[in-house]
Chain A
Amino acid sequence: MYDAGKIIIGLLIFAGFMTFPLWYNGGKAAPIPEPKVLTKGKCVEDTAYMRAAHMQLLNEWRDQALRDGNREYVNHRGEKVWISLQNTCMKCHSNKDEFCDRCHTYAEVKPYCWDCHYTPKESKKWASTEGNS
């Protein structure tokens, strides 16, 4: 056999690279995010449904409010909810950074909604809600 040493070293380096993701975090997965809920009571829909399908629900809301001109959503419990990302969702979940963002950072999703929609807290970065008009 020729150059056995070199081949073995090469294989070791290769194996090292291949398993990099496994040992990089010391074998632990990134901690599961814990979105902080500020309000008591219930979300627009059940928590499990919201966790799984809030993006679809928001799309539905957007189309119903803007395209069908109907801003009243009736949830599975039969309650009427006023459709608004800023004035409904974000009134309860006003801690966007500790709630929406925590999950989204973990899941590496960057909803582009915040280019236009905002919470009063976040808007302080680029405007002032108290400033003179």
Chain B
Amino acid sequence: MGIDRRKFLKIAGVSSLVTLGGGASLLALNSPAGASHGEVEHHAEGEEVKAPEKGVKRWGMVIDMRKCSEHKDCTKCIDACHYVHNVPHFENRKEEVKWIWKEEYEKAFTDIGTLHKYNPKEIVEEKFLCLCNHCDHPPCVRVCPTKATFRRPDGIVAMDYHRCIGCRFCMAACPYGSRSFNWKDPRLGLRGRKLNPEFPTRMRGVVEKCNFCVERLAQGLKPACVEACPDGVLVFGDLNDPDSEIRKVLAENYTVRRKPELGTAPSVFYII
């Protein structure tokens, strides 16, 4: 009775895996901290090297602060986003709800490497446009007990408001402050405002954040902020497509991301 090639390879593969696994655990037991391969697994950036599947999109955004900083008082992108999604406005900072906002340099980029007192004054005093980073490794998704927040195959970290129980674990987990809690009925914060009747509001007791305009992307539209910016600050596109505009911009400019040391791998890039 012979054994065919396929079967042989299978058995060989499985047994070598088992042996390797056993060997590795022995090594781990031997090394004093047992951390030798832990480091490899939790590699700082955890960047995917594997080529993306064909046809799979990975949405991302580039924010060109050189252009943005020329219009310091402009809030067109913020207004457009907050109108399109009926994001309420409350005066009290503690009740603030925001999807896209401006943040001081020191708060936006806490990476020690980028913080020193000799940085150009213009940059240190700049307000940086911030939004949900739609991370490759979103900590908010890991902690959500109801899977109300989840990562879509196209990289968008989405919210299913129907499942949100308002526990706010995601807010504690997000290192970027991208999430807001509805302490009050958000409709109180929409009084006298022009509503977008195509989009729901939220309710008291749920968390909300930027959704990269999934509802607009589904209709073939660009995100509202990108469309609203008259100065070409925001470039949105498919990071998996080497011929896309966003990849061109990334290839031609040096860009940074917020808090890369945390390993969340944001998909929002800044040209400073």
Residues of A within 8 A of B (CB): 62, 66-67, 69, 71, 84-87, 115-120, 123, 126-133
Residues of B within 8 A of A (CB): 79, 83, 150, 152-154, 158, 160-162, 187-188, 190-195, 197-203, 214, 218
Interface pairs A-B: 4 shortest CB-CB:
A133-B194, A115-B203, A116-B200, A120-B197
A116-B203, A131-B192 given; A69·B152 CB < 8 A: yes
B202 touches A116 (CB 8 A): yes
**Dominant secondary structure at the B interface:** loop
Q: Which B residues lie within 8 Å of A120 (CB)?
A: 195, 197
Given pairs A119-B197, A127-B190, A128-B192, 8 additional interface contacts (CB within 8 A): A69-B214, A69-B218, A116-B161, A116-B200, A118-B201, A123-B195, A126-B187, A129-B194
CA distance A104 to B193 in the complex (A): 30
B195 touches A86 (CB 8 A): no
A127-B192, A128-B192, A133-B83 given; A66·B160 CB < 8 A: yes
Q: Which A residues lie within 8 Å of B188 (CB)?
A: 126
Q: Which A residues lie within 8 Å of B193 (CB)?
A: 127-128, 131-133
Q: Which B residues lie within 8 Å of A118 (CB)?
A: 197, 200-201
16 contacts between A and B (CB under 8 A): A69-B154, A69-B218, A87-B198, A118-B200, A120-B197, A126-B188, A127-B187, A127-B191, A127-B192, A129-B194, A129-B195, A130-B194, A132-B193, A132-B194, A133-B79, A133-B193
CA distance A133 to B88 in the complex (A): 11
Q: Which A residues lie within 8 Å of B187 (CB)?
A: 126-127
B158 touches A127 (CB 8 A): no
Nearest residue (CB) in B for A68 is: B152
Nearest residue (CB) in A for B201 is: A116
A69-B152, A69-B154 given; A117·B192 CB < 8 A: no
Q: Which B residues lie within 8 Å of A66 (CB)?
A: 158, 160, 162
B202 touches A129 (CB 8 A): no
CA distance A129 to B203 in the complex (A): 19
Give chain A nearest CB distance to B161 CB in angstroms. Answer: 7
Give chain A nearest CB distance to B146 CB in angstroms. Answer: 12
A69-B152, A133-B193 given; A86·B198 CB < 8 A: yes
CA distance A4 to B140 in the complex (A): 73
B162 touches A62 (CB 8 A): yes
Give chain B nearest CB distance to A111 CB in angstroms. Answer: 12
User: Among A71, A123, A132, which residue has its beta carbon within 8 angstroms of that of B192?
Assistant: A132
Give chain B nearest CB distance to A86 CB in angstroms. Answer: 6
Give chain A nearest CB distance to B124 CB in angstroms. Answer: 33
CA distance A56 to B86 in the complex (A): 27
Q: Which B residues lie within 8 Å of A117 (CB)?
A: 200
